[in-house]
Structure 1
């Protein structure tokens, strides 16, 4: 009887251990599946930028327009976009452009030049490491020819391998009939006033 009792206890212990291993294994499987599902459902940087509905959620200020435009620019040059994503991003960028700027940049020419610039950027191992947007108090608003304009400076730091360089652009925006600030054009600050780096926010 003693032998049978010991044998029964050993068998029970083995069964319990197998059940524990099975339960732990199944729990790990569920956790991993949940993590994979969460990762799959988390929007990418590009998807987050594309989620913005410019029809119903247009950036309210010149600074916010350029901030969103810079989000698009970073996707262009820093992210691995598919052809479809690139074209969707390009449409978002053009949604921020003034009609006069659009008239001078027809879609076919615009997308051809954009793709060439992005390819050249990547071929030269460049990456945008930081963007410094001027503070809201440094936005220069003025009226000209019956239109309301705004100028804002933006600094870009570019990495090329281990080398770093910087450039400053001045954006000119014009308010349209709907009260939206649209990008009218831009130029390098060095062509305007010596290229002083903006002191402001990222």
Structure 2
């Protein structure tokens, strides 16, 4: 009788240990895979995708691709984000800028001007609803002293009391590593826009 009680007690103890091990493994596996699901590309916001883009390893190969990425970043930058997201994306955009442009626009003043601009956009209930590159035959390319330059037109569709288009003349220069960097831009007056 004593042996039967001991066997029953040891069986219950063994089953309890196995059940605890299974539960522990289940909870470990459940919580371990959730962060992976949350950061999978399907579950990421567009800003998260842009922020996770490794421009050191996967820099856009052409001036058009750089301009297109810039347009996407600008569209998302002006779209009701937290200050942390704005700053992170603004710093990511700076990776597309030419060294000369970065020197002329120090990070602190760049961020201060950007926050001010975004605040005025919010106040005016203004946002970028779309962007696109203007016809490829509008691209202007030239080479000066062995350095390649190009001009690409980028059109933003902006919503503010209706829709209107604002076209930017983007100036890019190829750096020593053959990467196209944004040298600057200017807004094309609406009476001469190319769209």
TM-score normalized with structure 2 length: 0.75
Instruction: Name the CA distance, whole Å, in 2 between partners of 1:82 and 1:170.
Output: 29
Instruction: Name the CA distance, whole Å, in 2 between partners of 1:122 and 1:39.
Output: 33
Q: Is residue 160 from structure 1 mapped to residue 160 from structure 2 by the alignment?
A: yes
2:132 is paired with a residue whose SS is strand
Moved over 6 A (4+): none
**8 Å CA contact retained: 2:170, 2:184:** yes
1:172 is paired with a residue whose SS is strand
Aligned length: 159
**Cα offsets for 1:50-100 (capped at 9, x unmatched):** 11101000000011001111111011112x322222111111111000000
| 1:102 corresponds to | 102
Q: 1:118 to 1:39 in 2, by over 3 A?
A: farther
Instruction: Name the CA distance, whole Å, in 1 between partners of 2:48 and 2:135.
Output: 27
Q: CA offset at residue 39 of structure 1?
A: 8.0
**8 Å CA contact retained: 2:128, 2:159:** yes
Q: CA offset at residue 137 of structure 1?
A: 4.5
**Cα offsets for 1:10-61 (capped at 9, x unmatched):** xxxxxxxxxxxxxxxxxxxxxxxxxxx6984511111011111010000000
**8 Å CA contact retained: 2:75, 2:131:** no
Query: Structure 2 unaligned runs (5+)?
Result: 1-33
Quote the RMSD (CA, aligned, Å). Answer: 2.1
